[in-house]
Chain A
Amino acid sequence: MARARTQILLYTVAALLSLAGLADATYLTVQALTGETIVCGGSASCSDVLASVYARIAGIPLAAFGSLAYFSAFGFATFAVFGYARARIFFALIVWAMFGMTLWLLFVQAFLLHAFCRYCLLSAAIIFLLAGVLVALPPSRHARAP
């Protein structure tokens, strides 16, 4: 019983974190689409990062893929709260995929662009927290079949 409560609590936290990431990624997507210069606390680092070749895939802003990923994570976490077993697997898969992508993007910012975007760092922090939640989750026994 305590295990189930902990799981519900952690998936709820994960859903809320995903919502925060979704807001961040949606904002960055809109900025990329409008072509607006983003100034982070007086420095143009955000724009250096967001205007770089690494910020788009096939012309589509990377942030748009981020929005989709966060939305998926939110959806899976929400379904997991309601006991859907398969949603937990998908949630774990997408969070680890996002985690891997985040490591790559941090590498790009630190070593290739030599510039950091604060909105991107916020997103990285959210994904690290999501990975933390995933690690903290106790193994499930009585999940509802999808």
Chain B
Amino acid sequence: MRRYLPFIIVTAVGLLTIGSGAMLYRAKRLSMRTAPKNYIVSGLPGGEPMHVRGRLDAPVTLEEFGDLQCPPCGTLAGAIDQLLRDYQPRLRLIFRHFPLVTHQRAREAAFASEAAGLQGRFWEMHDLLYRGQSIWSNAADVRLSFNTYAGILGLDIDRFKKDMGSEQVRQRVAADRQRGASLGVTRTPTVFINNHALPAASVTPAGLRAAIDAAMKAPLP
């Protein structure tokens, strides 16, 4: 028995590691998708197809107008991820681009995320851009940073570069911005819970949680 003991121990640890890693992955992995083209969240259209995290039929919708170069948006992204996990499957996030003119690289970052979206990796690029915000925001060659991220995500780089300058991507970002403007958005992050704008002071982890709780208790229209 002693002869086989090291084999048993090593195999057991290997299986345990794979099992716990897979369980952790499943627990952390949120449903990330781009909705079908004709799926509209309310009467007001925006960039289509919209980017949704969480279940498409969740009763509570958190619609965020964000700027990928805005530091508070980056901070909020982590808090929203936590909320999505806590309220899963009753909460969904819709991300809308609202690049501010004060952030010189925000539009390009939005294009990069949309170009990644055309290869099915919008959310991964969105997360990478927020994670590396302080790096690419100050990089000498921001295009190089975006191309590097595209490489990290395993995208077709040539296609990514071409898509970044495409009219399709520009229109997608412009449509989101237009939707924001029509809703009176002037700053980022601006958050709507079930189409009701949250005051800027409430756009905090605690404020969002309170608003989501209230939305869940509210009677269905």
A→B interface (CB under 8 Å): 19, 22, 26-27, 29-31, 33-37, 39, 44, 47-48, 50-53, 56, 59, 67, 71, 74-75, 78-79, 81-82, 84, 113
Contacts and interface: CB of A to CB of B under 8 A. Distances in A.
A1 B130 CA distance: 57
Contact of A30 (B14, B21, B30, B81): B21
Interface in B8-52: 9-10, 13-14, 17, 20-21, 24-25, 28-30
A82 B2 contact: yes
Contacts of B13: 19, 22, 71, 74-75
B148 A53 contact: yes
A44 B135 CA distance: 11
Given A34-B29, A53-B148, A79-B6, A48 B131 contact: yes
B3 to A, nearest CB: 8
Contacts of B215: none
Interface residues of chain A: helix, strand, loop or mixed (majority): helix
A30 B28 contact: yes
B21 A26 contact: yes
Contact of B81 (A26, A37, A79): A37
B124 interface: yes
Give 4 nearest A-B pairs by CB, closest first: A51-B131, A47-B131, A35-B127, A51-B132
A36 B10 contact: no
Q: Of residues A36, A82, A84, which shows the largest number of chain B Cβ atoms within 10 Å of its Cβ?
A: A36
Given A26-B17, A51-B132, 16 more contacts: A30-B25, A34-B25, A35-B124, A35-B127, A36-B28, A37-B81, A39-B78, A44-B74, A44-B75, A47-B131, A48-B134, A51-B149, A53-B152, A75-B10, A75-B13, A84-B6
Interface residues of chain B: helix, strand, loop or mixed (majority): helix
Interface size bucket, B side? 35 or more
A14 to B, nearest CB: 14
Nearest to A34: B28
19 contacts: A22-B17, A26-B20, A30-B28, A31-B28, A33-B25, A34-B25, A34-B28, A35-B123, A35-B124, A36-B28, A37-B81, A44-B74, A44-B75, A48-B131, A51-B128, A51-B131, A51-B132, A78-B9, A82-B6
A47 B129 CA distance: 10
A31 B78 CA distance: 13
Interface in B153-181: 153-154
Interface in B93-116: none
A74 B10 contact: yes
B77 interface: yes
